Amino acid sequence: MIARRPLALAEIIKMSFGFLGIQFGWGLQMANMSAIYQYLGASESEIPLLWLAAPVTGLIVQPIVGYYSDRTWTRLGRRRPYFLVGAILASFALLAMPNSSTLWMAAGLLWVLDASVNISMEPFRAFVGDLLPPEQRKVGFAMQSLLIGLGAILSSALPWLLTNVFGMAPGTASADSPIPLVVHVSFYIGAVVFITAVLYTVLTTPEHPPADLAAFEREKAASAGAWHAVVEIFRGLRDTPPIMRRLAVVQFFTWLGLFCLWIYFAPAIARSLFGGTPGSPEYQRGVEWGGVCFATYNGVAFAFSFALIPLARRYSARAIHRACLTAAALGLLAVGVWQHPTLLLISMLGVGIGWASILSMPYALLANVIPPARMGFYMGVFNFFIVLPQIVASAGLGFVVAHGFGGQALYAVLLGGASLVIAALALSLVPPDHVPVPADA
C-alpha cells in the first residue's frame, strides 16, 4: 500500500471541485423536478411515484460502480473515468429535461440523470479515502461539503435570480411547452457547469497507481466476469463492518427526512403560503421562493462547512452530527408554524447546519473503518441507505399525503422533521471514536 502524503489545502480543493458541478446538477433536480411534474399534469399524490425509478436505479448502480472502480486502472486512473462518464451522461440529461413533453418522458430522464449523478458521485467519496491520509479525511469530506453547498446555492436560486435579477420574462419556452423558459435556461446552464467542474478535477488531480500494478492486474483478471462480481458484491454485503450497519440506521431516517423536504417543500409552500395552484402565477412565485429557501439552506451549509473543519479537530464526529441533525429537525418542524414566506428562511438556518454535517460527518465516521482496497465498494453500499429511504418515500408518501394528510403536502414536510429527530437519537448506537483498519486490510 502506498503511504499517502498530507495534501495542501489547494490540492484538496482541486480534488473536490468536481462536486460543485455534481451538486449543481443535483440541486436543479431537487428544487425543480416536482414542479416540472406538475407543469406536465401530475397531481401532488402522484409526484412521489414519479420519483421512484431514479432511486431504484441508484440501488443497483452504486455498489456496481464502487466494485468496478476499486478494480480499475487506466491512463485516467481509478476513479476519474467514472467521474467523466457520469458527467457526460448527466449533462445530456440536463439539456433534455426541460424539453420533456410528457410525464413519463420527464420520469425517464430523471432516471438517466439520477443514475449518471451516481456514477460520478460515488467514486468521488472513495477519492478522499484514496488520496488523503486518515488524519486529513474529515477535512477532505468537509471540503466536499463546502463545495456541495456552493453548487447547491447557485443551482437552487438560479430560476429566481434569472427572473428577479436578470429580468428574464415569465412564461413558457414555446406554445408547445408548459415548462417555464427560466427552467429551460437553468438546466442548460447546469449542464455546462456540471461537465466543466468535473473536467477540472479530472485534469488537475492525479491518482496513485497500485503499489504492485502487475499483482493488481492479476487479481483483476482472476476476479473478472459478471458472476464473480455478483458473488463478491453479496459477500461484501454480508461482511459489512459493524459501525457501518449502525450508521445505516442513522442514514435511513436522515435521508427519509430530506426526501420529504425535497419532494414536497415547494408544492407545500406554493399552495399554503402563496395560495397558488399549478400553472398560476402565485404557484410559480411559490416554487421560485422554494428555490430561494433551498439556496438559503445550502448557503448556510456552505458557510457552516468552514466551521466544521475546526470543530472536527476538537469534537467527535458523532457529537457534531447529533447536534446538527437536531438543528435540521427543529428547522423542518418549524415550517408548520410560520405564516409568512420570509420566516421560512429561519427554518433553513437549521436545515443548512444539518445538511453540512450530513454531507461530511457520516463519511468521516466510516472512512477509517473500511478496507482501503474496497473503499469504492463500501462507499457505494453505504449509499444504499440514501437510496432505500427515497424508495420508501417515492412508493409510500403519495398514499400517505392523499389519504392520511388530506392532500396537504405541508404535513409531509413535518413528517420529515420527525424522521430527522429519530436519526439524531439513533446516533446513540454509533460509538464516538473508532480504530482505523490496518492499511493492508
CA dist 238 → 246, 372, 378 (Å): 14, 18, 12
Cell digits of residue 364: 468521516
User: Global pTM?
Assistant: 0.71
Percentages helix, strand, coil for the chain, rounded to the nearest 5? 75, 0, 20
CB atoms near residue 57 (< 10 Å): 18
**What are the cell numbers at 225?**
466476469
3-state secondary structure string, 317-369? HHHHHHHHHHHHHHHHHHCCCCCCHHHHHHHHHHHHHHHHHHCCHHHHHHHCC
Per-residue pLDDT, 171: 65
Distance, in Å, from the CA atom of 51 to the CA atom of 53, rounded to the nearest integer, reads 6
Supply φ then ψ for residue 435, to 5 degrees: -105, 125
pLDDT of residue 229: 63
CA dist 128 and 15 (Å) reads 8
Domains of the chain: 11-207+228-429 (1.20.1250.20)
Among candidate residues 370, 164, 409, 395, the one with its CA nearest the CA of residue 263: 409
- The pLDDT assigned to 382 comes to 80
CA dihedral (288, 117, 302, 322) positive or negative: positive
428's grid cell: 446513540
Calpha distance 397→376 (Å, rounded): 31
Q: Tell me, what's the pLDDT at 61?
A: 80
For residue 143, what pLDDT is reported?
84
The single-letter code of the amino acid at 166 is F
pLDDT of residue 216: 67
Predicted local distance difference test score (pLDDT) of residue 438: 39
**Are 205 and 14 within 8 A, CB to CB?**
yes
Can you tell me the distance from the alpha carbon of 69 to that of 124, in angstroms, rounded to the nearest whole number? 11
Segment-wise mean pLDDT, segments of 10 residues, the chain, 441 residues: 69 90 87 85 80 74 80 86 92 93 89 86 79 79 81 83 82 72 92 96 88 68 62 72 86 93 86 78 82 84 82 83 96 88 92 90 78 73 80 82 83 94 93 49 36
Q: Look-up: residue for cell 440514501? A: 386
Expressed in angstroms, the distance from the first to the final Cα of the chain is 10
